[in-house]
Structure 1
Amino acid sequence: MSTTTAPSAAQAAPTPPAPPRVETPFQRFVSEFAASRLALAGLAVFTTIVLIAVLAPWIAPQNPYDLAQLDIMDSRLEPGSVGGAGFTHWLGTDDQGRDMLSGIMYGLRISLIVGAGSAVIACMVGASLGMLAAYAGGRTDSAIMRLVDLQLSFPAILAALMILAVLGKGVLNVVIALVLVEWAYYARTVRGTALVERRREYIEAAQCLALPTRRVIFRHLLPNCLPPLIVVGTMQVARAIALEATLSFLGLGVPITEPSLGLLIANGYEYMLSGKYWISFYPGIALLVTIVSINLVGDHLRDVLNPRLKR
C-alpha cells in the first residue's frame, strides 16, 4: 500500500511577483531621449564637434593663428595639395596660406565659445529678470516686460551690429553684443512659466514660512522653470553661433588674426567665382552641421520636456 506525502508549506506557497521597476526621472528622461535616432545622431555629431574643437591644438596639422606658420606661397592650394611645410592640405588653403582643415578646427573653438558663453550669460540675466518680474508683479513686472518688448522689437542682427559698431571687434565684444540681444528671450520664457508656478501650493507654503525672497525664487521657483529654459537655451546656442558667423562675415565680429567659421567663409567669398570654392565651402559645411546637430537635440528636448506634447 503506497502513501503520499503532503507538500510542504514552502513548496505549496506561490512565488510572490517581483515588484515593478520604478524609473527615476533621470532614467525616464534618458529612455525617452534615446527613443529618437535623429536626436542621438545630432548629439553624437555635436559631441564629436566639441571634441575636435577642444583637441584642436593637438590634432590640427597647423596653428592657423600663428603667423610664423603661414606661408603666402601656399595660398589658395587645392584640396589634397602638399604645401611647403611638407604636409597635405586635405581641404586646401585660403588666400593667406592657412590650412583650411586647421582653420575649421580652430574656428569651431571660437564659434562654440562665443555661442555657449553668450547663451549661458544671457540665460542667467534673462532668467533672473523673468523670475523677478513674475514673482514681484505690479510695476516691477510691467517695467521689465516693457524692456523685453523694446528689446524684441529690434531685429537681433541689427541690434548686434549697432552694439559692435560702438564696442568694436573682439571675441569679448561679440559675447557682450549677443548677450544684450538674447537675454529677452529667456526673460519672456521664464516669466511665462514662473507665473504658473508661483500660484502652486509649495510657493504659498514658502511665503507663509516667511522665507527670504531670494531663497523662494532660486531654491523653489527656478528648479521648476528649468525644462523650458533648457530647451530655449539649446536653441539659443545655435542661434548665437549663427549670429556670430553673420557678424564675422560682415566684418564686425572676431579679429582677422583669430578667424571663426563666419570669417573663414567671408575670406573665400570673393574667390567663389574664380573656382576657389573650398575656401568658403568647407567652413560653411562645418557651420551648417554644427547648427543642425544642435537643433536636432533641441527639438527632441522640447518634445521630451514639454508634458503637453506628450499628451
Structure 2
Amino acid sequence: MSGAALAPDETPLRRFLADYAASPLALLGLLLLLLIAAAAILAPWIAPQDPYDLAQLDILDGKLPPGSPAGAGFTYWLGTDDQGRDMLSGILYGLRTSLGVGAGSAVLAGIVGGALGLLAGYAGGRTDGAIMRVVDLQLSFPAILAALMILAWLGKGVANVVLALVLVEWAYYARTVRGSALAERQRDYVEAARGLALPAWRVLFRHLAPNCAPTFIIVLTMQMARAVALEATLSFLGLGVPITEPSLGLLIANGSEYMLAGQYWISFYPGLALLLTIVAVNLVGDHLRDVLNPKLQA
C-alpha cells in the first residue's frame, strides 16, 4: 500500500511507480495513451499520406471501404472519406490537433485556475469570497454552452478554441485547489512561514503550491480528457477548428451524413480513436487519484 514504510533502497519515485504498476487497468491506460501520443507526434512520418494536401487526394477514391488498394501504392486500411482522404492518415493528424488543444487548454486553465485557487485559499476573507463568487457564476453555465457562445463571438481557429476552453475550465481548478489550500494553510509549516514574515508570494508558491500539487495533477488529468471531448464536440458542431485543420470532431462530422448510406467507417473510426483517447486519459487519471490521494497515506 502507499502508506507502507519505504524500504532502505526504495525511493518515493520507485514506490509511486510500483503502486501505479500494481493496477493492470492503469498500465493499460498508460500504454494506450503513450501509443496514441506517439502516433500523433509521429503522424507526418508514419501516415501514408498528408490528408490535407490536396495534391495527394483523388476524388475518385472517395468513400472506398476499409482495405481498398490505393493508386499511390499503399492500402486504405480504414477506407477513405468523401474527398478521397485516407482515414488512417486523417485520424493520425486529427489526434495531433485534439491532443494538442486538450493538453494546451488544460495546462493553461490549470495555471490560471490553480493560481486563483491558491490565492483564495491562502488569503481568505474578501479575496476568497470574490474569487469564489466568480467561480460559482462560471460553474453555473454548462461548459459546452459557454464555449459555443465564446466561439460564436471569437470565430473558428485553434487559438480561439484553446482560449474558449481555458475560459470554461479554469473554475474547476480554482475550486479544487482552493479546497486543498484551505486544508494546507492550517498546517504548522504555513504558520511557521507566516511567523518568519515571509512574503505572501513565497508562502504561496514555495510552500503551499508544492503540497497542493497532487490534487492539481489529478484535476489536470481529468480535465484534459474533458477538454479533448469538448474540442471534438465544438468541431463536430462547426464552431471549433476550421476545415483546413485536422480534427477528430471534424472527421466524425464529415461522415455523419453517410452513416445511413452504409459508409460507416468515415465516422466510426475517428469516433473510436476519440473514445480510446478519452478512456486512456481517464484510466491514467483514475489511478493517479488513488495513488496520490492523501487519505490513502498511513
Q: Same fold (TM over 0.5)?
A: yes
Per the normalisation by structure 2, the TM-score is: 0.96
Say which of 47, 54, 57 aligns to 1:60: 47
Aligned counterparts, 1:69-148, within 5 A: 69-148=56-135
Change (3 A) 1:147 1:79: same
Of 233-242 and 201-210, deviating more is: 201-210
Deviations 1:217-244 (A, max 9, x none): 0010000001111111101000000000
> Offset of 1:209 from its aligned partner?
1.3
Deviations 1:16-68 (A, max 9, x none): xxx95253222211111110010001000000000000000001000012122
Per the normalisation by structure 1, the TM-score is: 0.92
One-letter amino acid of the counterpart of residue 171, structure 1: V
Partner secondary structure for residue 218 of structure 1 = helix
Partner secondary structure for residue 257 of structure 2 = helix
Aligned to 2:137: 150
> Offset of 1:272 from its aligned partner?
0.2
Aligned counterparts, 1:1-311, within 5 A: 21=8, 23-309=10-296
> Offset of 1:207 from its aligned partner?
1.1
One-letter amino acid of the counterpart of residue 65, structure 1: Y
Output the CA distance in 2 between the equivalents of 1:190 and 1:221.
10
Deviations 1:251-284 (A, max 9, x none): 0111111120111000000000000000000001
RMSD of aligned residue pairs (Cα, Å): 1.3
Q: Which has the higher contact order (CA 8 A, sep 6+)?
A: 2
One-letter amino acid of the counterpart of residue 259, structure 1: P
Unaligned runs of 5+ in 2: 1-5
Change (3 A) 1:245 1:20: closer
Output the CA distance in 1 between the equivalents of 2:25 and 2:230.
25
Partner secondary structure for residue 271 of structure 1 = coil
> Offset of 1:74 from its aligned partner?
1.1
Deviations 1:137-190 (A, max 9, x none): 111111100000000000000000000000111111000000000000000000
One-letter amino acid of the counterpart of residue 61, structure 1: P
Output the CA distance in 1 between the equivalents of 2:33 and 2:7.
36
One-letter amino acid of the counterpart of residue 227, structure 2: A
Of 60-69 and 96-105, deviating more is: 60-69
Output the CA distance in 2 between the equivalents of 1:83 and 1:22.
57
Q: Judge conservation of contact 1:249–1:263 (CA < 8 Å) in 2.
A: yes
Following superposition, which runs of at least 4 residues in structure 1 exceed 4 angstroms of deviation?
A: none
Partner secondary structure for residue 199 of structure 1 = coil
Output the CA distance in 1 between the equivalents of 2:27 and 2:248.
25
Q: Judge conservation of contact 1:303–1:310 (CA < 8 Å) in 2.
A: no
Partner secondary structure for residue 129 of structure 2 = helix
Aligned to 2:3: none
Aligned to 1:7: none
Larger Rg: 1
One-letter amino acid of the counterpart of residue 34, structure 1: A
Output the CA distance in 2 between the equivalents of 1:260 and 1:90.
19
Q: Judge conservation of contact 1:71–1:96 (CA < 8 Å) in 2.
A: yes
Of 267-276 and 202-211, deviating more is: 202-211
Output the CA distance in 2 between the equivalents of 1:52 and 1:20.
38
Output the CA distance in 2 between the equivalents of 1:120 and 1:55.
22
